[in-house]
Copies of this chain bind each other. A is one copy, B any other.
Amino acid sequence: MSRLRFTISMSLDGFVAGPSQSVENPIGIGGMALHDWVFPLAIWREPHGLEDGIVDESTPVVAERLENIGATVMGRNMFGGGPGPWGDEPWNGWWGDDPPFHHPVFVLTHHPREPLVLEGGTTFTFVGDGIESALEQAREAAAGKDVSLAGGAEAARQYLAADLVDVMEISLAPVFLGAGERLFEGLGQGRPELAHTRTVAAPGVTHLRFERA
């Protein structure tokens, strides 16, 4: 079975991005604190060409997230470039010419656009007919592997509200942003319908895993 897997870092007060997100500040004011736990890790540093990385309880959790993923779905805000039509010189993502996905990525948008083929096997396909369609296309592209839901918050809320997420892992950072974008907002009672299956306490973060029962 090809599962839809979603992982995200969240503050203890429930925010997955700080306020005032912009091209200069893509995860909002203070939002970088959500990710402080990952930067010292060798598993994060080595792909970025950085030395002196460490191994801790988060390492196997991060490694696991990269395994058996055949395609990604993401929201327009996660892909970036601001809302609205794409314009004459369209935004091509945050990740440069060789994005780290190396598989097909499906971007939710109300604004049609031709597919974007980049190096290393990453293609961005822009999907205008909703979250079910994007997931269906991603599942087909994943050819039996799982699909990663990369966020952002709004896209994640739509998939959670529709009960389409099979595995969710919240990396809870013990920080308070005070404002920004909440993940668990307006989902209605009883959502997500997932059971808690694992807690990993690591330096600077607690990873809480939920799976379809």
Contact = CB atoms under 8 A, between A and B. Distances in A.
Contact of A177 (B174, B178, B189): B189
B184 A13 contact: yes
A178 B174 contact: no
B208 A190 contact: no
A210 B174 CA distance: 9
- Range for the number of chain A residues in contact with chain B: 20 to 34
How many monomers of this chain does the complex have?
2
Interface in A11-56: 12-14, 19, 29-30
A13 B12 contact: no
Contacts of A172: 12, 172, 206, 208
Interface of A: 12-14, 19, 29-30, 170, 172, 174-179, 182, 184, 187-192, 196, 199-201, 204, 206, 208, 210
